Amino acid sequence: MEDFSAISVFVRVVEAKSFSAAAQHLEMTPSGVSRAISRLEENLGARLFFRSTRSLRLTDDGSAFYARCKEILADLTEATEALGYARTKPAGKLKVAASSAVGRAALIPNLAEFERRFPDIRLEMTMCDFPFDLNEEGFDCAIRMGELADSSLIARKIGHFSNVLCASPGYLGRHGTPSTIEELRQHKTVNFVHPSTGKPSQWQFDTPGGRVSVDVDAHMLINDGESVIQAAIAGLGIIQAPHCLAACALEKGMLEIIMTDTISTGSNLWIVYPQKRHLSARVQAFIEWTSELFQRTSEPQCKIVEQQQAELMKMQKMAMPAVAKVA
C-alpha cells in the first residue's frame, strides 16, 4: 500500500468515533479525512465503516483491520524510538508493576536517581502481589522474583536475592550479637509469612557443610516484606531478608548485617515484558537502570566491604618501598 498515512487516519477515526473529531486532531478537514478513508477502502477492496448521518460503526473487516493497524503503528513508534534511543532522551508514560516489598523497599527509595537520569519519563507504578497478564492490563514491564511460570513474556535476569541476617544497632546493643545458628535460637526473631500460603519463611544458611534450612520459632510473624524490615529497624528482633530489600536501611545504619559467613544466595530477580520486535526507549532505559540498581544491591554489603579492604591492602603492599637489608 503506497499511502501509509491513510492507516493513521483510519486508526484515528476509529478511536475518535467520528470523522470530524479525527479531522480536528489531525488538523485536516472532515472532507479530507473522508477522502482518505474512501481511498483506503478502494485500495483494500473492502468496506471498513457503516456510515450514516447519526452513527459510524466498523464492519467486521474494519474491526479486524483496526486490530492489525494498531499493532503496526505501535511497532512503528517503538522501532522509531529504539532507533533514536542513543541520540534522544526517552520520554512518555511508562507503566511498571512490582511486588509491594520490591517496590517500597528497593525501587521507590532509589527513584530520585531514575528521575534525574530520565526526567522526561512519566512513571506509573503499580504494587501487586498476585500474578496478572501484562498484555491485558497494559503494562510495559514488571519486576518478578523466583521461578517464573511458562509464558509468552521475555524475561531478563537483573539480580538475585542474597539472604542476610540483620538487626538494629539498638537490639544488638541490648541483647548481644549471635555468631552461630544455635545462639540465634536464643534471640527474638521476626519472620515473613507468605500471604498466599500462610506459611512462615524457612531461613537458609550457607555453611562449610552446605546449605542448611531452619524453621524459626519467631517472636513475631508478618505477611509483608517491607513491614518485616521496619520491625527490625524498630528493634523488635533479628530478621532474614533479601539484601536488595534491606540495602537502604543498611546503608543508613538503621540495620546491621550479622553472621556474615552464613549469607545464602536466594532467588533470582527478573524484569519481564511482552514479546515485541522493538522495545521502546522508555522500557530500555528502565531495564538498564534496574539492572544497575540490583547489581549494586544484590551483593551483600559485607562481601563488598571485604573485597574493597582486600584490594586496598593489596594496593598498599604494592606501594610500600622495598627496604634494603643492612649488613
pLDDT digits (tens, 9 = 90+) for 19-52: 888 888 888 888 888 888 898 888 888 899 988 8
Q: Are 174 and 236 in contact (CB under 8 A)?
A: no
Q: Higher model confidence: residue 110 or residue 86?
A: 110
Element housing 9 (H / E): helix 5-16
How would residue 166 be classed by pLDDT, with cut points 50, 70 and 90?
A: very high
- Residue 302 has what pLDDT? 45
Mean pLDDT for the chain overall: 83
Q: Higher model confidence: residue 306 or residue 326?
A: 306
- Residue 136 has what pLDDT? 77
Inform me whether the pLDDT recorded for 77 exceeds 70: no
- Which of 124, 117, 142 has the alpha carbon at shortest distance from 132? 142
CA distance 254 to 167: 8
- Residue 304 has what pLDDT? 46
The lowest-confidence range among 84-93, 123-132, 243-252 is 84-93
Write the CB contacts of 191 (distance below 8 Å, at least 6 apart in sequence): 200, 201, 203, 216, 218, 220, 221, 222, 228, 239, 240
Write the CB contacts of 233 (distance below 8 Å, at least 6 apart in sequence): 168, 249, 254, 255
C-alpha cell at 78: 517503538
- Residue 195 has what pLDDT? 81
CATH (one of 1.10.10.10, 3.40.190.290, 3.40.190.10, 3.30.9.10) for 161-266: 3.40.190.290
Inform me whether the pLDDT recorded for 238 exceeds 90: yes
The tens digit of pLDDT for each residue in 144-154 reads: 877 777 567 88
pTM (2 decimals)?
0.56
State how far Cα 324 lies from the chain centre.
58
Q: Are 258 and 177 in contact (CB under 8 A)?
A: yes
What are the residue boundaries of the structural domains of the chain, listed by start?
4-83, 92-159+269-301, 161-266
Indicate the fold that domain 4-83 takes in CATH: Arc Repressor Mutant, subunit A (1.10.10)
Whether 92-159+269-301 and 161-266 share one fold: the answer is yes
46-78 burial, b at 16+ Cβ within 10 Å, e below that, comes to eebbeeeeeebebeeebeebbeebeeebeeeeb
Inform me whether the pLDDT recorded for 289 exceeds 50: yes
Indicate the fold that domain 92-159+269-301 takes in CATH: D-Maltodextrin-Binding Protein; domain 2 (3.40.190)
CA distance 41 to 43: 5
Inform me whether the pLDDT recorded for 80 exceeds 60: yes
Which of 138-152, 227-241, 294-308 has the largest mean confidence?
A: 227-241
- Residue 18 has what pLDDT? 86
The lowest-confidence range among 181-185, 206-210, 310-314 is 310-314
Q: Higher model confidence: residue 160 or residue 103?
A: 103
